[in-house]
Amino acid sequence: MNIVILGAPKGIGRAVARALALRGDRLFLLGRDTTDLEQTTTDLAIRSGRSPVAGAAICDLSSPQTFAPALAAAIDALTTVDAVVVTAADFATQTALEADLARAEHLLNIDFTNTVLFCEHARTSALARGGTLCVLSSVAGDRGRKPVVLYGAAKAGLSHYLEGLDHKFRASGLRVVCVKPGFVKTGMTSGLNPPPFAGEPDGVAADIVTAIDRGTPVVYTPAIWWLVMQVIKRLPRAVMRKIEF
């Protein structure tokens, strides 16, 4: 397949790019930093023993003006696009966000508003004839919880947006995949104590690739987080006010 990946140089995005390159897909990489994109391109070529990257372009979720040019470059390089994968995101602890409203505004813009805008650009350009839009949301969006009030709110909005797209456009050929990772050990979560069932990037990437192939509308990864969140969603508010999960 011909696949565009936003966030390919980092964390889960890098693991997804490696998995896709190793199985023979053709990629176009989007990221914030030219050096990171060049290093990722070299890494993928060495690992796969070929040249899986058709090109790369700067695309920064904090700068919506980069969306259209980046996607245009991807279309020009790939000719046809089968899937667009969005792994880029922002994260900060609830404590940090409460202490700095400018930081909170930045996260809310990145994880909801600008991610939605990028997806709209992708839907109407690279995927105008159909294909798969795969976006990382989070289990944090499944229910309001003390440790992730603001981050969870952004991801809840993103998950609802993706569900709406699936309902509206699946019949016309757009397959929307909403991936809901639990805690994953990446640079974004560095310094935090991993909870039980914390995932590794390679395992999460394998789940994402399978979901892309199948067009699964909602995927929890690691899979046990589906069960965990079914329990959490059913707890009474009185209980949720007392626990710190």
CA distances from 3 to 39, 78, 123, 190 (A): 18, 8, 14, 28
- Does the pLDDT of residue 196 top 80, yes or no? no
CB-count exposure of residue 181 (10 Å: 0-12, 13-18, 19+): buried
- What pLDDT, on the 0 to 100 scale, is given for residue 124? 98
Quick one: which of 187, 191, 186, 161 has its CA closest to 176? Answer: 161
The CATH number for 140's domain is: 3.40.50.720
Total structural domains within the chain? 1
- What pLDDT, on the 0 to 100 scale, is given for residue 162? 98
pLDDT in tens, 135-156: 999 999 999 999 999 999 999 9
pLDDT-wise least confident of 161-170, 180-189, 216-225? 180-189
- What pLDDT, on the 0 to 100 scale, is given for residue 195? 72
What is the overall mean pLDDT for the chain? 96
pLDDT in tens, 72-129: 999 999 999 999 999 999 999 999 999 999 999 999 999 999 999 999 999 999 999 9
- Does the pLDDT of residue 8 top 90, yes or no? yes
Tell me the C-alpha distance between 118 and 116, whole Å: 5
User: 52 lies in a domain?
Assistant: yes
Q: In the predicted model, what is the mean pLDDT of residues 177-204? A: 85
User: 245 lies in a domain?
Assistant: no
| Domain extent at residue 220 | 2-240
- Does the pLDDT of residue 213 top 90, yes or no? yes
User: 126 lies in a domain?
Assistant: yes
User: 182 lies in a domain?
Assistant: yes
